[in-house]
Amino acid sequence: MDGQIQVVVRLRPMSEREQKGNTLPVVTASTEKKEVTVIKGAGTRTLRSTFKFDNVFTSFSTQKEVFDQTLAPVIADVLDGYESTVFAYGQTGTGKTHTMEGSLDVPEDRGVIPRAAFDVFRRLKDDTNKFVEHKVTASFLEIYNEELCDLLADESAENMKSRETSAEDDARGNRSGNDTSKPSSDSSCNKGLRLVEDPGGPGKKKGKGVFVMGLTEEVVTSPEDVLALMYVFVFPKSQHCLPIQD
């Protein structure tokens, strides 16, 4: 169990527009050295800055390589009883969705979330001596402008669609002063959802820690169950992908 926070960098390949424009790459990466080098300027005024990270993946790294070296060890810790979190951070269009979700229909292109589902159930099945009894649940929580939204709740579908439309308009600069596409503050999206902490107490087993009260939890008995949920809530979202920002 490595309790330290780890920062991992993954570089995306150049876009079609960048290739057509003969754009020169300004970032290079070394998986072996775990370094990223940023190049500024040109000619005699070229400045190179090198940064080290816990792990580095290039544009040629596969989805499997990313999962095996990042999330697989975390899953082992979770099944040993430790709380863990993995999230992707970056500018719009840099490949967060590809890394986290990928293509559900093509096994080799699946991201870390579907791969994690398959790995969890594989471990539970293979080690029956360690895991005598288990129950796995899945939730989909969206946090938008500090508002909590339960994506598995039926009433959230229209709100999610409205948010996507609003985000697209923001990215393209099409929002007007009279725009009403964004959900109102009293939206049903956050009804009954509260961020609370259950620390446990004397004579009581360990609490749940920080969690969202009222969040829907769907019981899943196989990785295919997880993929089915993702098909419902990830694929509609992917149809509204935003362009890479300049």
More confident residue, 241 or 67: 67
Give me the pLDDT at residue 111, please. Answer: 95
- CA nearest neighbour of 181 among 157, 204, 198, 163: 163
What's the token pair of residue 86?
């993995």
Give me the pLDDT at residue 180, please. Answer: 42
More confident residue, 174 or 89: 89
Sign of CA dihedral 234, 235, 237, 242: positive
Give me the pLDDT at residue 58, please. Answer: 94
DSSP state letter for 4:
S
pLDDT tens digits for range 116-150: 999 999 999 998 888 888 999 999 888 888 888 88
Please state, in angstroms and as integers, the Cα–Cα distance from residue 229 to each residue in 26, 105, 160, 170, following that order.
39, 14, 15, 28
pLDDT at 57 over 90: yes
Give me the pLDDT at residue 241, please. Answer: 46
pLDDT tens digits for range 73-120: 999 999 988 888 999 999 888 899 999 999 999 999 999 999 999 999
Whole-structure pTM value: 0.76
**Average pLDDT in the chain:** 81
